[in-house]
Amino acid sequence: MRLLIFVFPFFFALPSLVAQQQPPPRRDSIVVTGVYEPVPLEESDRPVRSLEVRGLELLANSLVDFLRLEPSVDLRQRGPNGVQADVSMRGGTFGQTLILLDGMRVNDAQTGHHNLDLPLPLESVSRVEILPGASSTLYGSDAVGGVVHFLTQPPDFSEFRLRTALGNFGVNQQSATATVATRRLTEQLTFARDFSSGFRPDRDYRTLAAASTTRYSSSWGTTNLLLAHSDRPFGADQFYGPFNSWERTRTWFVGLRQALGTATELSFALRRHTDLFVLSRDHPETYTNRHALKTFQSALRRRERVAKNARLYWGVEGYRDVISSNNLGDHARGRMAGYVALDVRALQRFSFSLGVREEIYRAVQGQFSPSLSAGYWVNSHLKLRAGTSRAFRLPSLTDLYYHDPTTRGSPDLRPERARSFEAGLDWHAGTRLRGGLTVFQRNEQDVIDYARRSPLDIWQATNLQRLRFRGLEASLAASLGRSQQVEIRYAALRGLREQLGTIESRYVFNYPLHSAVVSWQAALPHGWVARSYLGALNCYARQPSALWDLYLARDVGRLRPFLQLTNLTNTLYEEIPRVPMPGRGVIFGLEISVLRRKK
């Protein structure tokens, strides 16, 4: 409470300072997540959250900083700056959230613990879109709790930037961005290095990432090519039990999207991920796992105009996972999917979408995923929306085959299934005030979790029955003065499960009961910009905690200093039980902009 009393006056005390600033040009957000074709944000029948990243790199330290702005996202970090983090939504497990990169899956078939192993630097991403709720009709397996979509897009100007920073806990960071933009070709190269000696023993890390983003326009259509690689060695003290562990993950990603005219798109992606895990850093010979995974995916998507306000969308997709592991063994599995959807839309009047998807795996077994959503504008300020859908998740390879002295997989696991219902409203009071409210329920069957009957037993991968989650999400955003914006967001969740008797589950019932975020962003005099984040969290199996971060930067000129203050109140907290997180952090740096020229 004392923290709130201190922070709120700070949010609202700056109108006199910023009155002289001109408002930024208004841009209507166009979203691509949760729809078959890009639409304005207010026309989406789902509560999509669009977060701009480009232009805010100095006010963030990693992509994880943007995910924390949405309370429906349960982010459980094992270290700072996204070194290793699990992400879940609406009470789902970390395997029930789908991660996309430019529309292509990056979920790890080995284990959901690696889903956020994004292989590209912060500077490569243009925005993040967050879609809570079941979405298997559009995206297939894993989209049970929701979807997080990272989008890249080379800027429309040539530039060259260098960035360096130092901080406590031995933090040492460097990054570089080079972009060449012509009328038909845009190429962006990015590189980033993030090093820390650790805030405690065996919590050091060294993250390297590099990416190339190419966009080329031809008579055939637009070609988008993404090449990315990351290398993440880190100390993993207490991550997997009472051991001073160590782990190194490496990711390679190739993604190609080719438009054929205006109505057809082909895409292909290859993701290679390796995981080296050492149980005891001092004695690596005790227990070491090596995993190497390759994932292939391809898709053909097509849209047809069937009437003035109606579009028909259809497509086919193929996936294949191949793993070589000293623990899981050598396995390969593939699956095919096809979908068709009808979308009827009259802008700012009504919208209606009906879709079905069939995904086939293990030769003849399949999952059928229908969805139905609709929206209706009561007037120019108020829109009502509702939807229902079916989702599923295939077992990960760890769920099926993993084994160690305390944990066992189960080769006979069934896919998870869920039915989701939601309804909500969006309210727009001009350009300065807007809000939203969503209520939802998800009924799940065959949920995969690790369970045991007593502390003396091992954890066994098991299908649990009849889980139910009900929740509410609310938001209010206001523009104050000409250059300030405040957002208040809140999510509440309640889970119900069938009586399990003496069975103890490991992951399912560890969700946020209440989560709230207050964020503030402002343009200050003389080219300075600021952003503040205040988050409060109360979880089912964790102690309540509150975190406050503050970012300040100068965003004009060639020399751009910045200051990042994290966990200002020095809160002691854990996002994973028995894995402490850092206290107060300070990072100071400088970005040098050598060239910036429009094409």
Q: Which amino acid is at 207?
A: T
pLDDT at 213: 97
Token pair 């192993």 is found at 117
Token pair 């139910």 is found at 468
pLDDT at 577: 83
* 27: number of Cβ within 10 Å: 7
User: Of the candidates 412, 405, 510, which has an alpha carbon nearest to the alpha carbon of residue 463?
Assistant: 412
User: 145, 92 in Cβ contact below 8 A?
Assistant: yes
> For residue 51, with 0-12 CB atoms within 10 Å meaning exposed, 13-18 middle and 19 or more buried, which class applies?
middle
* 220: number of Cβ within 10 Å: 11
Q: 448: domain CATH number?
A: 2.40.170.20
User: 567, 169 in Cβ contact below 8 A?
Assistant: no
* 532: number of Cβ within 10 Å: 21
Residues in contact with 88: Cβ distance below 8 Å, sequence separation at least 6, in sequence order: 73, 74, 76, 94, 96, 97, 145, 511
pLDDT at 598: 64
Q: What would the two tokens of residue 263 be? A: 């109505």
User: 208, 81 in Cβ contact below 8 A?
Assistant: no
Token pair 């050091």 is found at 204
Q: Which domain holds residue 416?
A: 2-598
Give the residue ranges of the chain where pLDDT is below 70. Answer: 1-28, 363-364, 498-502, 596-599
Backbone angles phi, psi at 3, to 5 degrees: -65, -45
- Give the chain's mean pLDDT: 90
Total domains in the fold of the chain: 1
Q: What would the two tokens of residue 325 be? A: 């592991």
User: Can you tell me whether residue 58 is helix, strand or coil?
Assistant: helix
Question: Could you tell me the sign of the dihedral formed by the alpha carbons of 218, 220, 222, 223, in that order?
Answer: negative
Give the pairing type, strands 97-101 and 30-31.
unpaired
Express each pLDDT in 486-502 by its tens digit: 999 999 999 887 655 56
Q: Which amino acid is at 526?
A: H
